[in-house]
Amino acid sequence: MKSLAQRTIASVAIVVTLALGTPALALAGTTTTPTTTTIVAKTPVIKNMRQYRAAEKLYLAKLKVVNVTFLAAVAIAKANLASAIGTASNSTQRISARATYRYAITEATIARSNALALLGGPPVKPGHTTTL
């Protein structure tokens, strides 16, 4: 069962990487100078509601992938904690299991936060301005 959980996490991580990385690479342009390279991400301008709905649908799908990945990581951490606590024979092993669980939750939270930062904000409706 553990290998199934690991494969699930790995496959979800690959999906998130492809879902978040591919559009960023497709929209990125490079500008080079003799000493530095700057990557500029071009934000598509939404001019009508059809484009807005498509952009919003894509944004929500990516957001769902990020959240499902986080929830899967939390579920696996809980399952590993339950397994480790069940097989622990002394308090040191239980303390270690809980520390491992807290570390896994922290790592999952950091990964979710980074993925949300890469995702950016939701698309802006035509005619509206962003409030930064």
pLDDT of residue 30: 46
- Is 132 within a domain? no
Q: Helix or strand or coil: residue 36? A: coil
- Is 100 within a domain? yes
- Is 125 within a domain? no
Q: Provide the residue type at 77 as one letter.
A: A
pLDDT of residue 96: 96
- Is 107 within a domain? yes
- Is 129 within a domain? no
pLDDT of residue 124: 86
pLDDT digits (tens, 9 = 90+) for 28-86: 544 444 555 555 445 567 788 898 999 999 999 999 999 999 999 999 999 999 999 99
- Is 30 within a domain? yes
Residues sharing a CB contact under 8 Å with residue 13, sequence separation 6 or more, in sequence order: 69
Domains: count for the chain: 1
Residues in the chain: 132
- Is 130 within a domain? no
pLDDT of residue 127: 78
Helix (H) or strand (E) segment spanning residue 60? helix 49-87
pLDDT of residue 46: 76
Q: Domain of 95?
A: 2-119
- Is 79 within a domain? yes
- Whether the Cβ atoms of residue 69 and residue 115 lie closer than 8 Å to each other: yes
Question: What gap in Å lies between CA 109 and CA 3, rounded to an integer?
Answer: 22
pLDDT of residue 45: 73
- Per the listing, tokens 């790592």 go with 107
Stated pTM of the model: 0.62
